[in-house]
Amino acid sequence: MASLLLAVIYVAFISLGLPDSLLGSAWPTMSQDLNVPVAWAGGISAVISMFTIVSALLSDRMTLKFGAGKVTAVSVALTAAALAGFSVTSNYWVLLAIAIPYGLGAGGVDTALNNYVAIHYESRHMSWLHCMWGVGASVGPYIMGYALSQGQGWPWGYRYIAILQVMLTVILVLSLPLWKKRGAIAVGESTDDTASSDGNAEGCGNAEGASVAERKPLGVAGVLAIRGAKEILVMFFCYCAVESTAGLWASSYMVMHSGIDKITAASWASLFYVGITVGRALSGFLTMRFKDPVMIRLGQVLVFAGILTMFVPLPHHLGVVVGLVVIGFGCAPIYPCVIHSTPAYFGEDKSQAIVGVQMACAYVGSLLMPPLFGIIAQYVTISLYPWYLLVLLVLMVAMHERLRKLRG
């Protein structure tokens, strides 16, 4: 039964990635049909991000009350409804309104699933699940491209993904007994472990002997009061800022700094995401041998090596290209291993609240830091791109090492 639930979660992660890249791939056509400026895509994206943050911050309260299985099922249903709404409207302002449940659903499923896997499954599954998210995010534009190439228009692209999300919702509802059974087994194991560990419960399922069901939601203030929480939140913020900035500005850096033509730069920039996806598939095997802190440090070393490689004047701009791929490989283990290590650092009873705030920090980092570099690129120089990544990396490393001292 545990294997069946794990298979459902794998499917859920693929489905989670499917809609994430739809807006970008469809927007050139959507903007014309909606008769709005191209730049207005940022409004839809911003609304989705803001309500994803809201949902992530509410995840602790919702999961305590309803359980991870129900929260995941309802969140996917919200996303499916929003995608269906996207497929039937031709008004930009209606799309902005529909983006609200879109964001709420995305944040809910992301936070609930990540924490559930961190508690109940090995680190390798966390890496492979995020690899599956990358597969879904890669397949989404192809589905949209199919709809456009067949003359069906962008609404059918959203409709296809909505149908898949509805199917996933049905699967999740049918699997709810498996979530309850898995949770009951985990509680029993945690109780046995606590009874045999002389009362030292920190890092186990129920810190200080209190069950997850008995405690109250921590809230942001409660999370920030936990020793080491600020460090892991800043670390996660920095990681997501590195990933999103590296991905968004890679092509522009190649064109404006290295003089690479636009078509070639667009193709080469995608290798960064290839590096992340392949790296997560490989890091799943490495986590069988190395623990999460080692994997995080390995990722940070690779990101540093990739940044340094970008400065090397190799022929045919290979330094920039190889550097981006290596940065992608370095990013691969950090995100899943940070999340997976959270219950070990803070206890399973606190991990849902901390993971929720982590996700909020992740979305804030992805939302704010790439535009900040855009201002730097416009008013100073885009040549500072690797230096910007380096500053974020240094802060990330400092926070991780401080976290290890406080909680390791």
pTM of the model: 0.78
Lowest-pLDDT choice from 25-34, 224-233, 324-333 = 25-34
Residue 146, pLDDT score: 85
Q: Which one of 140-144, 188-192, 266-270, 374-378 scores highest in mean pLDDT?
A: 374-378
The mean pLDDT value of the chain amounts to 82
91: left (phi over 0), alpha (psi -120 to 50) or beta: beta
pLDDT at 189 over 60: no
Q: What's the average model confidence in pLDDT over 57-82? A: 86
Nearest C-alpha neighbor of 335 from the set 289, 291, 299, 377: 299
Residue 190, pLDDT score: 44
Task: Indicate if 290 and 171 belong to the same structural domain.
Answer: no
Q: Give a yes or no: residue 199 inside a domain.
A: no
Q: What's the average model confidence in pLDDT over 112-119? A: 83
pLDDT at 225 over 70: yes
- C-alpha separations of 362 from 31, 238, 352 in Å: 28, 8, 15
Q: Give a yes or no: residue 51 inside a domain.
A: yes
Q: Give a yes or no: residue 357 inside a domain.
A: yes
Task: Indicate if 165 and 230 belong to the same structural domain.
Answer: no
**Tokens describing residue 32:** 């014309």
Task: Indicate if 119 and 244 belong to the same structural domain.
Answer: no
Q: Give a yes or no: residue 206 inside a domain.
A: no
Residue 250's pLDDT band (cuts 50, 70, 90)? confident
Task: Indicate if 31 and 135 belong to the same structural domain.
Answer: yes
Lowest-pLDDT choice from 163-177, 196-210, 247-261, 302-316 = 196-210
In whole angstroms, give the CA distance from residue 111 to residue 360: 9
> Could you tell me the CATH number of the domain that includes residue 317?
1.20.1250.20
Residue 64, pLDDT score: 80
Query: pLDDT: is 121 or 214 the higher one?
Result: 121
Task: Indicate if 276 and 388 belong to the same structural domain.
Answer: yes
Domain boundary among 129, 163, 182: 182
pLDDT tens digit sequence for 141-175:
788 888 888 888 889 989 999 998 899 889 888 88
Task: Indicate if 302 and 348 belong to the same structural domain.
Answer: yes
Domain boundary among 182, 209, 240: 182
Residue 182, pLDDT score: 57
pLDDT tens digit sequence for 325-371:
999 999 999 989 998 899 888 888 888 888 888 888 888 888 888 88
Q: What's the average model confidence in pLDDT over 208-217? A: 53
Q: Can you spell out the DSSP letters for 149-186?
A: HTT--HHHHHHHHHHHHHHHHHHHHHTHHHHHHHHHHH
Residue 392, pLDDT score: 96
Q: Give a yes or no: residue 173 inside a domain.
A: yes
Task: Indicate if 370 and 261 belong to the same structural domain.
Answer: yes
Task: Indicate if 264 and 319 belong to the same structural domain.
Answer: yes
In whole angstroms, give the CA distance from residue 365 to residue 381: 21
Domain boundary among 182, 210, 230: 182
Task: Indicate if 156 and 227 belong to the same structural domain.
Answer: no
pLDDT at 200 over 70: no
Residue 1, pLDDT score: 58
Residue 389, pLDDT score: 95
Quote the number of domains for the chain.
2
Q: Give a yes or no: residue 200 inside a domain.
A: no
Cite the beta strand spans of 5-50 per DSSP E.
none
Percentage of the chain exceeding pLDDT 70: 90
Asked if residues 356 and 56 have their Cβ atoms less than 8 Å apart, the reply is yes
In whole angstroms, give the CA distance from residue 212 to residue 184: 12
Residue 207, pLDDT score: 37
Residue 179, pLDDT score: 77
Q: Give a yes or no: residue 102 inside a domain.
A: yes
Intra-chain end-to-end CA distance of the chain, in Å? 34
pLDDT at 194 over 50: no
Residue 2's pLDDT band (cuts 50, 70, 90)? low
Percentage of the chain exceeding pLDDT 90: 21
Residue 98's pLDDT band (cuts 50, 70, 90)? very high
Residue 363, pLDDT score: 85
Residue 183, pLDDT score: 53
pLDDT tens digit sequence for 295-324:
999 999 999 999 999 988 888 788 888 999
Q: Give a yes or no: residue 195 inside a domain.
A: no
Domain that holds residue 53: 2-182
Task: Indicate if 137 and 267 belong to the same structural domain.
Answer: no
Burial grade of 168 (CB within 10 A; 0-12, 13-18, 19 or more): buried
Q: What's the average model confidence in pLDDT over 99-115? A: 86
Task: Indicate if 174 and 223 belong to the same structural domain.
Answer: no
Lowest-pLDDT choice from 65-74, 93-102, 261-270, 338-347 = 261-270
Task: Indicate if 324 and 403 belong to the same structural domain.
Answer: yes
